[in-house]
Structure 1
């Protein structure tokens, strides 16, 4: 079981605090969570929140230093971390723990110095201030979340959900993450490279959105070759207009979006069926095992066979 220490502090937003507690506490197949979630504070006891009520925290820094996953679900802009908390986080990290900064939690991650020379993601509205305060790190405001392996950071509230679901998906497979997302009534997967802020309004009625219709059309045909010309005609647009509108609508290119859909579907088939890798490659539109292996390794750093072996238990 993975031990999770969620850091609370005086003046925390209970909504932000609830995100990792909810996701990790409810994850797993058949209601059995593989995470042991504990809310911690530097000084356990009663803490005020921004919602007008108090919370009681029972666990202290000793829980942080022994955790497998240390989560900062928020922080105060411009605030560093105390020497005691910094030491506990460094001990946990040295022992192999992953550090997670959700939204302004990236300020706490930056304050530890463990992200120096690397990049972190934060809410777009705070990116400039964070970069000025910690010039040793590269701040991303154009992604939903980023995963460096030992340091994982995300943008704001909805992106924090995406980030935590990504961790569940990484640890326990697509089926576990998809079932959890369904129970939370949220999107099962938004890739970290997706833009935080799309400056184009999404129509209230999906039938009025040709890009949304084109995306649904493509998802229903992942087992076939989808060329950009036919895809753009489905949206009743020229190829050039479709390409531009797709990026405006999603924050990524049509080709990259389609590749991510194929990879996600392949992951689910590998985890939940006994189909051969060759069959999975055909059913997800890669055409050949060689092509599937190439893209799978490039995007996930592993092979389809290794992924299936890793998550075979979660797929049963």
Structure 2
């Protein structure tokens, strides 16, 4: 089996972990593979002069786009905080169209998806990116099918990942695909990361929406619900609080906040439960009652459906206090 050439596209303002994370996975994999069966990684950019990552780290590409007129096994574009609002890099786009798309697989890490979009490589494809930028990606490239909650996504030869450390998840998945899950697991153990992370991006993102003017119908509802979260809130009761009809209130929620009243209530309860799981030692039953879920089983059902993991696993992953801590 021949070595697989990996081309990682970088640019000024790149997120350094989008580069180092996947490279370390492929490098670790080489240590578990026979000579000639691993990965050969190259950084590509418009120049081989020093560029600066978003955290100020200087780095340089091994090769310019102009000198990389060949097919690689895998091409990945690293993200950067400036890509979502930045203008298209015409040279990068041309190379991605001409050579990147010929790879056995190609894709992006984090906001690198925007570079693929500018190159016209996302149309009609299932993709993901950092949860904070998913809506922007969908708006910028409406022909793409953007998944907001995936850690990584595969659509044929196209592979995309969520934000920053999710590039490690994607690289581990590619190693597993190439050489078996036992090699991916060995790499994950060496890097002290999860071989397959549970849940989606939603576990890292807040659901709470901006507060409305407290004198408006929506503002009145928000204020009351936040202060009385353990109470039941059928739509007719919310409408009475707002001083509108149920139908009018439902239209207001969708128009102003982009969610239904039911989704709004569930979002608030979920975020409050997450805060309590992170920062307190309260029993799950007490948290479920305080947040208005009715029972710990109902809370567990919502966590599994919305976040892809249980409240107990969420607490293990994110808690900021420990039992017995002052």
With structure 2 as the length reference, what TM-score do the two structures score? 0.61
CA distance in 2, matches of 1:192, 1:95: 32
Which position in structure 2 is the counterpart of 1:45? 49
How far is the alpha carbon of 1:182 from its aligned partner? Answer: 0.1
**Does residue 251 of structure 1 match 2:322?**
no
Instruction: Specify the SS of the correspondent of 1:157.
Output: coil
- Distance of aligned partners of 1:129 and 1:190 in 2 relative to their CA distance in 1, 3 Å threshold: same
Instruction: Specify the SS of the correspondent of 2:47.
Output: coil
CA deviations on 1:131-162 (whole Å, 9 max, x unpaired) are 11111112111111111121111111232211
CA deviations on 1:216-253 (whole Å, 9 max, x unpaired) are xxxxxxxxxxxxxxxxxxxxxxxx84364155168237
How far is the alpha carbon of 1:191 from its aligned partner? Answer: 6.0
How far is the alpha carbon of 1:171 from its aligned partner? Answer: 1.3
Which position in structure 2 is the counterpart of 1:127? 134
Instruction: Specify the SS of the correspondent of 1:124.
Output: coil
55, 73, 79: which one pairs with 2:78?
Answer: 73
Confirm or deny: 8 A CA contact 2:16 2:57 kept in the other structure: no
142, 154, 158: which one pairs with 1:151?
Answer: 158
Instruction: Specify the SS of the correspondent of 2:133.
Output: helix
With structure 1 as the length reference, what TM-score do the two structures score? 0.62
CA distance in 1, matches of 2:124, 2:7: 25
Which position in structure 2 is the counterpart of 1:310? none
CA distance in 1, matches of 2:282, 2:99: 50
Confirm or deny: 8 A CA contact 2:71 2:103 kept in the other structure: no
RMSD over aligned CA atoms reads: 3.3
**Structure 2: where are the runs of 5+ without partners?**
206-270, 286-294, 311-326
- Distance of aligned partners of 1:31 and 1:183 in 2 relative to their CA distance in 1, 3 Å threshold: farther
Who wins on radius of gyration, i.e. which is larger? 2
CA deviations on 1:143-197 (whole Å, 9 max, x unpaired) are 1111112111111123221111111111111100000000000011126867453
Confirm or deny: 8 A CA contact 1:101 1:153 kept in the other structure: yes
Which shows bigger deviation, 121-130 or 180-189? Answer: 121-130
CA distance in 2, matches of 1:39, 1:209: 49
CA distance in 1, matches of 2:43, 2:283: 42
How far is the alpha carbon of 1:96 from its aligned partner? Answer: 3.8
**Structure 1: where are the runs of 5+ without partners?**
212-239, 255-316
- Distance of aligned partners of 1:169 and 1:27 in 2 relative to their CA distance in 1, 3 Å threshold: same
Which position in structure 1 is the counterpart of 2:39? 35
How far is the alpha carbon of 1:130 from its aligned partner? Answer: 1.3
CA distance in 2, matches of 1:171, 1:208: 44
